[in-house]
Every structure is written in structure tokens, then in C-alpha cells.
Amino acid sequence: MILENKIDSNFITFGRQEILFLVLAIISAIGLSFGAHALLVGHDNVFGTSREIPWGILITPYVFFACLSTGLCIVCSLGQVFNIEVFKPIINRTAFLALITMATGLMCITIELENPWRVPFFALLSPHPSSNIWWKTTIYSLYMIFMVFNLLSLFMKNEKRARIFAIIALVTVTMGNLNMNSDMAILGGRGFWSENYMPLYFLSLSTLTGCAAILLFTWIANKLNNETASKAEDNALRATARLFMILLFGVLYFTGVKIMGGFSPQFTKNPEAMFLLVQGDFAPNFWIGEVFLAVVLPLLLVLITKGKNKGILAIASLSCLIGSFSLFYHLVIVGQLIPHYFQFNVVDLPKYYSYTPSLHESMITVGAIFFFLAAFMFGEILFKKINFGK
């Protein structure tokens, strides 16, 4: 009788997970269908971008998920590459999260392109080594391949081979992340994001979001599976929480540098854009998203609970991820709003360009986020069957 009740309980749990996966997948498909429609009718007809603002909101999830994957890979490497024992229990789930986040990011940039099928064709037949975009596409594509082989090696319990692929993936994705600010700064020669601290800022922010994702999705996975974390996994999460807290202090410093640039022109290379971010129209988003949600609230929650309450850590992590998404939106958009040659007082040149995401762009972004959530849910269902998550 007890065994029968246990089987029924497991069936109900699996059924709920399966239904949740289907709901997430359907929402994702609806959102991504707007991307298919955009490819058919042309981006110019349905996107809010223009000649002045060529990069829209779809670049935001690309940068967000690419940086998130970088952070997850770095944290995963602490146990897999550097053999830090305390981080080893979370290697499997972290490696899987790193793979699906990068897949989501590359999917976003693919849909954002008007002719995405040209990328693999000309990237191979006509490589352009002096192009930042070519390097970024090549690096992240190679990283995806290495992470797939890494995950397959973990499936087969071949830790030695998995470590080799993990080392290559870590070097590859770190190269791409350190060069991220170069991509942000090429549009129209604007210097908004060519600040000297940006490479270290991107690396710190990526690792921060990686820690947040591990804390949040491990907590969600345990709740979905009605499981309690083992002692080893609990120690790994505590270590991740400590690293999360340290990185929050680091990102708080960089946020302070941004605030100084918004109030004092000598602290930034583009005071007009920084003023728009800190004091102008984007100020509410900046102070609520970048400052409060991304850094201040998570830091307060971690300090108050001393990083011991997993539920509070999950809330802090969710807040950090939401705030970081807002941060990446500002990184992509705000610098483009400063008109070219504004310093020459050109007649009829607006003070700021304007950009509003269209329905298609917004729905594609929602579809991409739910694609990631559906992939995570699918992984939990699959890994529970093969006992891979631990």
C-alpha cells in the first residue's frame, strides 16, 4: 500500500512537471512565431529599430543570456576545472544551464538578423578576422560545441574528458565576454561603453548572474522534485552564496562609477548618455532596476539572512536577474539615443533619438525567456529519469 502511494505520488509529480513544460513551451512557441512572421514580412515593417537605432531590445536577451552562460561556465569550472571540492555537486546542473542559456542567446541574435541563414554560410566561406561580430559569432558557436561535448562526457561519467572540454569552453567563453564591450561601442563610433573598466565589469556581472541562476534554479528544481538538498549540495550552494555576496559588492562599486559619471562629466567618456541614464528619462529604470533590484535588494537580503535561508536567496537571485536584464537593456539602448555629431549643433538634429520596442520585438523576447524556462523544465524531467542532476 505504501509502495503504491509512492508510485502514485511520483506519477502526479511527473505529470505536473510535464504539464508545466508544455505550458512554457506553448508560450515560447507563440512568442517565437512573431520572429518567424518578422522574417517573412521583413524586419523594417514590424521592428521598432531604425537607421539611427539599429539595435533594438532583441540584443538585450542575447547579451543577457550570453553573459549568464559565461558566469555559469565560470562557476561550473570552479569544481570541474580547478577541482575545488565544494563546488563539484552542482557541476551537472550548472553545465546544463550554461548550455541552454547560450543556446537561448544565440537564438535571439539569429532572429534579430534579417537574413540569419547567411551567417553560417559566409562565416565559413568568407571569414572576416578584423570584425568583432565575426569573432563573437565564431567564439560563441565553438563554445556551444565544447559545452555539448562536455555535457555528453558528464552523461557518460567520463570526468577526465569532460574536464578537457570544460577547460576549452572556459577559455573560449571568457575571450568572448572580455570583448563584449567592443561590440557595444562600434555603433556610430559612440564611446558610451568603451570605458576602461568595462571588460572587468562584464566579467564580474556575468559571474554574478551565474551565481544567481544557480541559487534560483537549484531551489526551483528541489521544489519541483519535492527533494531536500544533500549535505554536499547544500555546502556548494552556501559557497555559491558567499561568492554571490562578494560579487554584489564588486558590481555595487561599478554601479557607483556609473552614478558618478551621470553627475560629473569628467568620470565618463560620454556624459550625455550617462546623464540620460542616471538623471534623464531612463533614471527611474536605472535607480529601480540597476541599483535597487540588481544590487541593493539582493545584497540586503543576503546580509540580513547571512546567506543561510535558501528561499530568501532565491528571491535575492530572482531580483538580481531581473535587475540585470534591465541593466543590459540600458547597455544596448541608451548609448544609441545620443545623436551622431550632436556636439556640432546640427540644425534640426533632435536632442535624443527615440526607440520603443514593437509588439514583435517584445513577443520574441518573451518567447526567448520562456524557451529557456521550457528547456530548464525539460532538463529536470529528463535528468530525474536518468539520475543525472546530482
**Chain segment 179-217, per-residue pLDDT in tens:** 776 666 666 556 666 677 888 899 999 999 999 999 999
Enter the C-alpha cell of residue 363.
Answer: 513577443
Burial of 9 (0-12, 13-18, 19+ CB in 10 A): exposed
Residue-level pLDDT at 2: 44
Enter the C-alpha cell of residue 171.
Answer: 577559455
Could you tell me the residue ranges of all domains in the chain? 16-386
Local confidence band at 48 (pLDDT 50, 70, 90 cut-offs): very high
Enter the C-alpha cell of residue 256.
Answer: 557607483
- Alpha-carbon distances, residue 231 vs 161, 234, 317, 324 (angstroms): 27, 5, 21, 30
Asked whether residue 6 carries a pLDDT value surpassing 60, the answer given is: no
Asked whether residue 43 carries a pLDDT value surpassing 80, the answer given is: yes
Please state, in angstroms and rounded to a whole number, the distance separating the CA atoms of residues 104 and 106. 6
Local confidence band at 107 (pLDDT 50, 70, 90 cut-offs): very high
Enter the C-alpha cell of residue 314.
Answer: 532565491
Please state, in angstroms and rounded to a whole number, the distance separating the CA atoms of residues 384 and 382. 5
Enter the C-alpha cell of residue 143.
Answer: 563554445
Please state, in angstroms and rounded to a whole number, the distance separating the CA atoms of residues 241 and 245. 6
Give the residue, 118 or 204, on which the prediction is more confident: 204
**Chain segment 339-351, per-residue pLDDT in tens:** 877 777 778 888 8
Residue-level pLDDT at 16: 83
3-class DSSP state for residue 57? coil
Enter the C-alpha cell of residue 79.
Answer: 569544481
CATH fold group of domain 16-386: Formate dehydrogenase/DMSO reductase fold (1.20.1630)
Which amino acid, residue 34?
A: F
Q: What is the DSSP string of 210-256?
A: HHHHHHHHHHHHHHHTT----HHHHHHHHHHHHHHHHHHHHHHHHHH
Which amino acid, residue 326?
A: S
Could you give the percent of the chain with pLDDT greater than 70? 92
Local confidence band at 4 (pLDDT 50, 70, 90 cut-offs): very low
Query: What is the average pLDDT across 372-385?
Result: 92
- Alpha-carbon distances, residue 385 vs 176, 288, 380, 381, 390 (angstroms): 35, 41, 9, 7, 12
Please state, in angstroms and rounded to a whole number, the distance separating the CA atoms of residues 107 and 63. 11
Enter the C-alpha cell of residue 129.
Answer: 578576422
Q: Nearest 5°: CA angle at 184, between 115 and 171?
A: 90
Q: What is the dihedral of CA 259, 265, 266, 268, to 10 degrees?
A: 60
Query: What is the average pLDDT across 118-127?
Result: 80
> Which region among 82-96, 161-175, 340-354 has the lowest average model confidence (pLDDT)?
340-354
43 backbone dihedrals φ, ψ, rounded to 5°: -60, -35
Q: DSSP letter for 49, please.
A: -
**Chain segment 134-158, per-residue pLDDT in tens:** 888 889 999 999 999 999 999 999 9
